[in-house]
Amino acid sequence: LLRRLAAAASTGSASPAAGVGSLAATLRPLDTAARITHLRQHLRAAFARVLGHPDADQLDLDRTFGELGVDSLLAVEMRTQLGRSLDLPLPATLLFDHPDLDRLARHLASLLPTVTTPAPAPASAGQRDDDGVAALLAEQVRAMEQRP
């Protein structure tokens, strides 16, 4: 396990993302469901890589990290890499608190800020005054049109 971890670290393949915050930037515009789906795929590929699985699809998502062969050293390393790629502080116990890919993906998605659509800006005082003046003028025009 240590040889695989050292080899993965030297080639950079242990890193779930290319740089600080890069995964966060990818996830930021997505809604929660899409974030969870993307995180599951990302985590599956990252764990398959460091555990030496040739095909990420062969990694059983229903098994806990411990059952997959993740020990405390690898758990801390993966937490560090995830923290960097998400630009979030994560506890050392992350993989023990959320012991499978699905729970971890859901937890990480919940930590990211949600995308909100800005509300339309309220009309400025000048716009309100213009609207009031236009309404007053329209009322006066109607009154003049009704005079004999």
Q: Residues 104-113: pLDDT tens digits?
A: 999 999 999 8
Report the percent of the chain where pLDDT is more than 70.
Answer: 75
Distance CA 49, CA 15 (A): 9
Encoded tokens for 14: 């242990």
> Whole-model pTM?
0.65
Place of tokens 């795929």: 41
Q: What is the DSSP letter of 20?
A: T
- Maximum CA extent, the chain: 100
Distance CA 63, CA 65 (A): 7
Residues in the chain, overall count? 148
CA 4 to chain centre: 28
pLDDT band (50, 70, 90) for residue 67: very high
Q: Residues 22-66: pLDDT tens digits?
A: 899 999 999 999 999 999 999 999 998 888 888 888 888 789 999
